[in-house]
Structures are given as C-alpha cells and as structure tokens.
Amino acid sequence: MRLDRFISNASDYSRSQIKHLVREGRVLINGNAANNAATVVTEDDQISVDDVLIHTPHARYLMLYKPAGVVSATKDSEHPTALDLLDEPRPEQLQIAGRLDIDTTGLLLITDDGQWNHRITSPRSQCRKTYQVEFADPLNEAMVKKFRDGLWLDGEKRRCLPADLEITGERCALLTISEGKYHQVKRMFAAIGNRVTKLHRLRVGQIELDDTLAPGEYRPLTQQEIDSVVQIS
Ligand code: URA
C-alpha cells in the first residue's frame, strides 16, 4: 500500500501532514529517508516518523449477530447501522462482507481487510451461505426440486445456481445458496409464489454464527475462521 495510507491507517497523521513530513525528510523506510508519499510499502518494511516506529494495526475480522431493525451499512440517516453496534477504533475503515436486509437477523461478517472481503463477496467465489427461513405457505418436494434445478428470478438474465433447501417444519426450512443477489432469498420464495416471513443467516462459508452471542453482540473471528476463507481459484 502507499506510504501515506500505511502511516495514516496506523497513526493520527493526516495524508497532508504525512506529505509534509516526507518533504522534511522525517519519514524513514528501512532507515532511509522516503522521498515520495506515494511510495509503495509492505508490512515487512520498517516505517518510522521522527525515529518512532509505526506499527501496522492488525487487520480486524469480526462476526456480529445482527438484530432486526439495523441496517448493513456504514452510514444511514434513519436507522442504526451495524457499525453503530461496534466499539472499535477507526470504524470508517470497516466494511461489511455480505449485507443483510434490515429485517434479516444473524451472521454478519465485518472486516478492514478488503481482499478477504472480496473472497467472500465476489460472485466468482460462490461462497455458500445458509439461512433459516420461515415462509407463509407449506412447501412440497416439487418446490425443493425447483430450488435444486436453479430458479429464475424476476429481472435476471440467468437462472440461480442450484440451491439446497432442507424442509425442517411445515413453514420453515434451511436454505443454502452460493450467490448473493439483491434480496435473493426473498425473491427465490416469491418465484415459487411463496413469501418469506422470517430470515436468519446461520453460516457463511465455514463460519457459523456463534450461539453464545446475543443479538447485537460481536466477537473477533478465530484464526481458523479467518483462514477458512481461502483464495479464489
Ligand atoms: N436474501 C434476502 O432476501 N435477504 C437477506 O437479507 C439475505 C439474503
């Protein structure tokens, strides 16, 4: 990343202050004065300002139990946002990896690692997400087959990828999808003439919502959970 970004992420210096410091020769990269704030540096480089080493903050990976009524956005003028529920420094650097509707509850992943986020949300990754769904009308096996064969959603040019629907009760099921189209689950049920009445996300890839979290609570991911999100092949 650029030197000025590296320093501003890890300190209170603004980008313009950093340019000024570079011009004055007060920023060192591996012991040599930096001559350009745009120089690309890595975490292996030793960066100092006025001989004080700048430590990179570790990337953050969080799971939040999103309650209903909270929007999956970083800013909203009307509703509380997922970021409002966090007590984290530099909240402006956090991004949501895969949004949920305001009335959907459950697992929301939040990070400041853009590449990790991309591995979850890129359509190429076909990351599997499991939802607990409640709906208005009972389902039958023919409908399960429609999900498995790939549903056509209104306004889409391609069929959905095959989805696994496991009926768990008269008006509830577990649904696993490998895409993240806008309002996808609600639109899938609409496509078979049904209606979602409650939606809760249980799992994203290998990461499961921690059942010790109450709605509105969050915790950092374990290293194993972070590493489970692998490079897109
Ligand atoms: N699909 C939906 O329709 N809503 C969500 O919040 C998530 C998936």
Domains of the chain: 3-54 (3.10.290.10), 61-231 (3.30.2350.10)
101, 154, 164, 227: which is the annotated catalytic residue? Answer: 101
| % residues pLDDT > 90 (the chain) | 84
Greatest extent of the chain over all pairs of C-alpha atoms, in Å? 72
Q: What integer pLDDT is reported at residue 93 of this predicted model? A: 87
Distances (CA, A) of 203 to 29, 65, 211: 42, 11, 11
pLDDT tops 80 at residue 231: no
CA torsion through residues 205, 208, 213, 214, sign: positive
The count of C-alpha atoms lying within 13 angstroms of the C-alpha of 53, restricted to the half-sphere facing its C-beta, is 9
Mean pLDDT of 1-17: 89
Strands (E), 5-139: 27-29, 32-33, 47-49, 52-53, 61-66, 95-96, 105-111, 129-135
Which residues, in sequence order, are bridge partners of residue 220? 62
Question: Is the beta carbon of 66 within 6 A of some atom in ligand 1?
Answer: no
Q: How close is the Cα of 98 to the center of ligand 1, in Å?
A: 10
Give the closest residue (by CA) to ligand 1 atom 4: 183
> Poorest-confidence range of 87-96, 99-108, 173-182?
87-96
pLDDT tops 80 at residue 43: no
Question: Is the beta carbon of 183 within 6 A of some atom in ligand 1?
Answer: yes
Determine whether 101 is an active site residue: yes
Mean pLDDT of 137-154: 95
pLDDT tops 80 at residue 171: yes
Residue found by looking up tokens 């806008």 in the block: 182
Q: What integer pLDDT is reported at residue 185 of this predicted model? A: 98
The structure's pTM equals 0.81
pLDDT tens digits for range 104-139: 999 999 999 999 999 999 999 999 999 999 999 999
Residue found by looking up tokens 């591995």 in the block: 119
Q: How far apart are CA 223 and CA 124, in angstroms?
A: 24
Question: Is the beta carbon of 101 within 6 A of some atom in ligand 1?
Answer: yes
CA nearest 102: which of 67, 128, 137? 67
